[in-house]
């Protein structure tokens, strides 16, 4: 079962591979599907990977392989006139897809995030190879940790924080919090009366308190990667 956008994307990737032998960039896919951001492309690619229509080749940031295609004779479903969600369509008679031979997946690496004083978070186009066993269900991305305010939680400067996308969190969870739509930080999330409190895991740092309207959760910590030089 594919949505209209998923159908359009797998066809676009396949056509580009047949024409040039090179996968389209995320920017090209965003423009081709008239999406507002590249995060929408990441979600569609993850969904197509789960359904085994495509896979990302390891150690190559832009390399996509089409494993199977919906039948070209099927019509793409039209966008619904008033419903806000996409209409799903089922395609039959697929050939079985081969199982990927490795257990490494690539997730977007979106720059550095502060584990101390908040710093500006920025979106990048690079990818990070991650053991699939470290990730659960859902969509994930990675951030490189900068600072030492979470050391008592075992999160060190230079670690890669693996984040599952979500907009909600419970007290005591470690989250990526976007502050006033411009700065992001990695902290424990807690509610304190009418305020949101972001707690460090380092006695040298003080908690940060903000009105709820000034803080937006962008994900929860799912795992860590650490390099040993």
Q: State the catalytic residues.
A: 149, 187
Q: Give the count of beta carbons closer than 10 Å to the beta carbon of residue 118.
A: 21
Token code pair at residue 20: 């040039």
Give Cα 24 to chain centroid, integer Å.
18
Q: DSSP of 75-134, one letter per residue?
A: PPPPPPSS-SSPPEE----PPPPPPPS--EEEEEEEEEEESSS-B------EEEEEEGGG
Phi/psi of residue 148, nearest 5 degrees: -125, 15
């Amino acid at each position: 079962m594919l949505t209209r956008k998923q159908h359009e994307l797998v066809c676009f990737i396949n056509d580009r591979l047949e024409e040039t032998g090179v996968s389209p960039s995320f920017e090209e896919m965003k423009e081709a599907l008239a999406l507002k951001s590249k995060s929408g492309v990441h979600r569609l690619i993850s969904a197509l990977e789960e359904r085994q229509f495509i896979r990302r080749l390891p150690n190559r940031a832009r390399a996509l392989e089409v494993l199977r295609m919906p039948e070209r004779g099927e019509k793409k479903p039209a966008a619904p006139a008033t419903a806000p969600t996409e209409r799903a369509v089922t395609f039959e008679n697929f050939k079985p897809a081969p199982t990927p031979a490795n257990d490494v997946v690539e997730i977007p690496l979106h720059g550095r995030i502060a584990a101390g004083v908040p710093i500006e978070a920025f979106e990048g186009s690079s990818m990070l190879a991650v053991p699939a066993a470290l990730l659960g269900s859902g969509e994930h991305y990675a951030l490189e940790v900068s600072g030492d305010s979470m050391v008592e939680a075992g999160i060190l400067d230079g670690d890669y924080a693996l984040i599952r996308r979500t907009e909600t969190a419970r007290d005591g969870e470690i989250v990526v919090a976007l502050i006033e739509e411009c700065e992001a930080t990695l902290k424990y999330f807690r509610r304190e009366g009418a305020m949101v409190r972001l707690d460090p895991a380092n006695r040298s740092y003080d908690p940060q308190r903000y009105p709820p309207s000034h803080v937006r959760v962008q994900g929860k910590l799912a795992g860590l990667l650490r390099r040993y030089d």
